[in-house]
Structure 1
């Protein structure tokens, strides 16, 4: 009987650990979609050695758009290729979310405060929320295979 109880406790603990890890699994490649639901690009979310979480465009899906530059961007990003652009930076873990960073919209060049988190009901969906003052928009990115 003790073996069954011990096995049950271990099984439940491992299940809880997997649930925590799934919530924290923001890292990897994500399909970034537009308002019509079409995939525009693949963005890789990664962590630097200092713990900062960033996002980089690793692929533009439309071949004819792959050479486009971020002409509307400011500073060091001005006229840089969008494919390969680090569009998200400065994120730090805050509970089940990553916040405190900024995201750049390559077409407009506008920068927004950002927070991201894995959807609690589907670990293959990433919520990306951009803020401008009191206004915000939340996008849902899907994990790329």
Structure 2
């Protein structure tokens, strides 16, 4: 009987740690998929409805690039909103039993385009692969986001 209690105890710790590790809440460095350079810092938080939201907390300076401050090509409610502090990721949901997140929406504040979004957390929980697409995932772009905290 004691062996079974010990096994149950360790199994519960393993599964609770495993579930915690899959939470993408935190601070992430967005890497530009075209240049490979750091682009911005994104803070992802879990909302009360168990979806994830991300906002830009810092625009990373890059050599030869003057960052745009206002989202001037973006549709409402993003029109003329400052890029710094902008909530660019909404509605992302964890897929139970996996390290995948889907059904989100993300806006590219430089182009003003809104995309469907899904993400996958790697085995070490230190990198996210973010896939932005229109309609079909195969017709999209991927970015790597690196955990900072």
In the alignment, the residues of structure 1 paired with residue 37 and residue 8 of structure 2 have an alpha-carbon distance, to the nearest angstrom, of 44
Q: Which residue of 1 aligns with 2:24?
A: 26
Q: Which residue of 2 aligns with 1:99?
A: 102
Q: Which residue of 2 aligns with 1:72?
A: 73
Q: Which residue of 2 aligns with 1:37?
A: 36
TM-score norm. by structure 2 comes to 0.80
Which structure has the highest helix share of the two? 1
Structure 2 unaligned regions, length at least 5: none
Q: Which residue of 2 aligns with 1:127?
A: 129
C-alpha displacement at 1:20, in angstroms? 2.8
For the residue of structure 2 that corresponds to 1:58, the secondary structure is strand
Contact 1:26 1:117 in 2 (8 A): no
Return the match for 2:111 from 108, 118, 137.
108
C-alpha displacement at 1:6, in angstroms? 5.3
Q: Which residue of 1 aligns with 2:145?
A: 141
- Structure 1 stretch displaced more, 6-15 or 36-45: 6-15
Contact 2:68 2:110 in 1 (8 A): no
TM-score norm. by structure 1 comes to 0.82
Contact 2:28 2:41 in 1 (8 A): yes
For the residue of structure 2 that corresponds to 1:107, the secondary structure is coil
Would you say how many aligned residue pairs link Structure 1 and Structure 2?
142
Contact 2:74 2:109 in 1 (8 A): yes
In the alignment, the residues of structure 1 paired with residue 48 and residue 2 of structure 2 have an alpha-carbon distance, to the nearest angstrom, of 43
2:117 counterpart of 1:118: no
Note closer, same or farther for the CA distance 1:94–1:12 as it changes in structure 2 (3 Å cut): closer
Structure 1 unaligned regions, length at least 5: none
For the residue of structure 2 that corresponds to 1:76, the secondary structure is coil
